[in-house]
Amino acid sequence: MTTLLETRHLIKHFRGVKAVNGIDLDLPAGRCFGLLGPNGAGKTTTVEILEGIQQPTSGTIRYRGEALGSRFRQDIGIMFQSTALQDHVTGRENLQMFASFYPRSLPLDALVEACALGEFLDRDTRKLSGGQRQRLLLAIALVNDPELIFLDEPTTGLDPQARRNFWELIHRIKARGKTILLTTHYMEEAYHLCDEIAIMDHGRIIAQGTPRQLLAAHFDDVVLQLPLADFPDPAPSLAHPVVYGQDTVDILTQDVGATVQELLACNIPLARLLIRPRTLEDLFLELTGRELRT
């Protein structure tokens, strides 16, 4: 598989702190690559270096085997986590303005169709909903028909319906053979969209692979989840690990039948019992911890 973008031993120092500490990445062409990590893990700095916004302290970045240059800048599109749009300007006028910055651009009709902009294309950007705004920002990132698209937390703040609609847009982009680098705090989103993910913490890659590979490598159990209100206090002595959440209790087990029998023997009500497989969120917490990051 062809590598579109690669880094070798990428390092970035800030006042003696290694925000990025020896990152090696290979982004295959035509795939969606997810970069995940808690706050302060170094992923934002890493992405800004890959985008050419920041310079690394040391290390190398190559696009199609070459150092980043004018070809790279023409071939990428960026959807930032937070972007200000000019007031009193319509979506159409925004797209026309950004298209003028490039020697080549997609036809307006293609962008409108790709990002489903038709219903609000001529509306003042101040009057757009959150989902409509994100679709317009995605169209702006695609205006130059880029080969590599950076999507930084693209669905933050969207309601579930708008988020799912946005996922469908990303699937359409992937179907055209484009390469995507996605950062997100939504683990379901990463599982749904990404062909491969890398989890960062303390400036390093601590796990990398397809979502299925990573889950299989780290877990061989399932989760029996009960509402905290249904779990006795004091807790009974169980043969399996018990993890307390804010409102739930998770029981980790390799033998669902035996564990259910054990709960029944303790007279624990099971009417609201949920049995689920391990998820990327479980993996994320397992690898990076549960403490609050600033």
pLDDT 10s digits, 17-71: 889 999 999 999 999 999 999 988 999 999 999 999 999 999 999 999 999 999 9
Q: What pLDDT does residue 166 have?
A: 93
Burial class (CB in 10 A: 0-12, 13-18, 19+), 291: exposed
For 123-182, give the DSSP string. Answer: SBGGG--HHHHHHHHHHHHTTT--SEEEEESTTTT--HHHHHHHHHHHHHHHHTT-EEEE
- Helix (H), strand (E) at residue 22: strand 17-28
pTM above 0.75, yes or no: yes
> Do the beta carbons of residue 35 and residue 200 sit within 8 Å?
yes
Q: What pLDDT does residue 84 have?
A: 78
Strands 148-152 and 179-183 come out as: parallel
Q: What pLDDT does residue 5 have?
A: 96
Could you tell me the sign of the dihedral formed by the alpha carbons of 38, 41, 42, 46, in that order? negative
Angle of the 280-288 helix axis to the 211-218 helix axis, nearest 10: 60
User: What does the chain come to in residues?
Assistant: 294
Question: From the first residue on, what is the mean pLDDT of each consecutive set of 10 residues in the chain (294 residues)?
Answer: 92 90 95 94 94 94 94 94 83 93 92 91 91 93 96 91 92 94 95 96 96 96 95 86 91 95 93 95 90 58
